[in-house]
A and B are shown apart, each in its own frame.
Chain A
Amino acid sequence: MSAPSVIAPVPHVEARLEGDCLHIVLGGRWRIMQRRPTWADVVEKALMGGNGAPRRVRFVFAEEMEGWDSALVLFVGEALRWCRGHDAFCDLSAVPEAVRRMADQLTGAADQADAMPPAPALNILAFVGYAATDIWNKARDIAAFVGECALGAVNTARAPGKFRWRDCIDEMQQCGAMALPIVGLISFLVGVTLAYTGAIVLRQYGGDIYLADLIGLAMVREMGAVMTAVVLAGRTGAAFAATLGNMRASEEIDALTTFGIRPVDFLVLPRVVALGLMTPLLALYANALGIIGGMAISYSLLHISPSAYWNEMLQIVTLRSVNVGLIKATAFGLIVGLAGCLRGLEAERSAAGVGRAATSAVVTALLLLIIADAFFAVAFNALNW
Chain B
Amino acid sequence: MSGPTHETPAIAVNGLECRYGHAVVLSGVSFAVRRGEIFFVIGGSGCGKSTLLRNLIGLHEPAAGTVKFFGESLADAGDARRRELLQTFGVLYQGGALWSSLTLRENVALPLEEYTPLTAAERDELVALKLAQVGLTGYGDHYPAELSGGMRKRAGLARALALDPDIVFFDEPSAGLDPLTSRSLDELIRQLRDTLGTTCVVVSHELASIFALADRVLMLDRTAKGVIAEGNPHELAKDGADGRVRAFLTRGENQP
- A interface with B by C-beta (< 8 Å): 1-6, 31-35, 69-70, 73-74, 77, 96-98, 101-102, 105-106, 108-110, 112-113, 116, 348-353
Contact = CB atoms under 8 A, between A and B. Distances in A.
Contact of B126 (A35, A74, A96): A74
**Consensus secondary structure, chain B interface:** loop
Contact of A33 (B115, B141, B196): B115
Nearest to A106: B129
B100 A33 contact: no
B128 interface: yes
Interface string B77-116: 0000000110110000000000011000000000010011
Interface residues of B, number: 43
A136 to B, nearest CB: 25
A3 B70 contact: yes
Contacts of B3: 5
A34 B87 CA distance: 13
A1 B129 contact: no
A35 B84 contact: no
A105 B6 contact: no
Contacts of A110: 124-125, 128-129
Contacts of A4: 84, 87-88
A33 B83 CA distance: 12
Interface in B117-131: 117-118, 122, 124-126, 128-129, 131
B126 A70 contact: yes
A112 B116 CA distance: 24
The 10 A-B pairs at the shortest CB distance, nearest first, are namely A3-B70, A69-B164, A98-B195, A350-B100, A109-B128, A109-B132, A352-B101, A106-B129, A113-B128, A110-B125
A166 B125 CA distance: 56
B101 A6 contact: no
Contact of B137 (A1, A70, A96, A109): A109
B35 interface: yes
A350 B140 CA distance: 18
Nearest to B125: A110
B117 A35 contact: yes
Given A69-B196, A112-B137, A351 B101 contact: yes
